[in-house]
Chain A
């Protein structure tokens, strides 16, 4: 019955996942060794739109967004000179995670703003339903 609310809720969930990823990236910004043996790789969400149904009341209207994949960044690991570290290589360099703090901050602001925009769309739809109930009253 409330299609706009369903569509908006998919976007809210997707933006939540994006914010979760930013939080995880920031938390692991200095993790120099993971279970794979490499430093932590920055992760980002790939969003895909949900297709529109061919029939019914919502024909032709896309049904929202979904996180289709979570990919690890393939950027090279920056290296710092720290010969005393147990992880240092023969030349004394330690590979650091490829988490870019500035990129994460931009991503965080983006996800947060998108979440707010969708929350406002949700409120607008709810108000539209309430307004429709007062029609003719």
Chain B
């Protein structure tokens, strides 16, 4: 269940601070959940950019704020694209490996 449960038998690591950091590590650091979080933030930044553009067109938001939101969404998309490219590249180099 807990992959690091075994190390807790070591009395040195049973301190409150170390158990806390281990717990957060086991819950949040799998690659799948990282990717899920990244896609989530990408989606929300795109949605926010859309909202800000609509606001700018209807005069509720200044052009400055709309362009900042658009730029941030663009940068988030750049980061996501770059991560995806690197992941696919790593996957392919593993798949092409002649064991």
Among A106-137, those with CB < 8 Å from B are: 122, 126, 129-130, 133
The stretch that binds A, out of B3-11, B18-26, B68-76, is B68-76
The A interface is mostly helix, strand or loop, or mixed, namely helix
Known: A1-B41, A2-B72, A126-B71. A9 touches B79 (CB 8 A): no
Known: A13-B62, A16-B62. A1 touches B68 (CB 8 A): no
Asked whether any CB of chain A lies closer than 8 Å to the CB of B33, the reply is no
Give the chain B neighbours of A122 by CB distance below 8 A.
68, 71
Known: A130-B78, A133-B78, A133-B79. A5 touches B71 (CB 8 A): yes
Asked whether any CB of chain A lies closer than 8 Å to the CB of B82, the reply is yes
Asked whether any CB of chain A lies closer than 8 Å to the CB of B54, the reply is no
Query: Are A133 and B82 in contact (CB-based, < 8 A)?
Result: yes
Q: How large is the interface on A (under 10, 10 to 19, 20 to 34, 35 or more residues)?
A: 10 to 19
A–B complex contacts, Cβ < 8 Å, 24 sampled = A1-B41, A1-B75, A1-B76, A2-B72, A2-B75, A5-B68, A5-B71, A5-B72, A8-B68, A9-B64, A12-B64, A12-B68, A16-B62, A122-B71, A126-B71, A126-B75, A129-B75, A129-B78, A129-B79, A130-B75, A130-B78, A133-B78, A133-B79, A133-B82
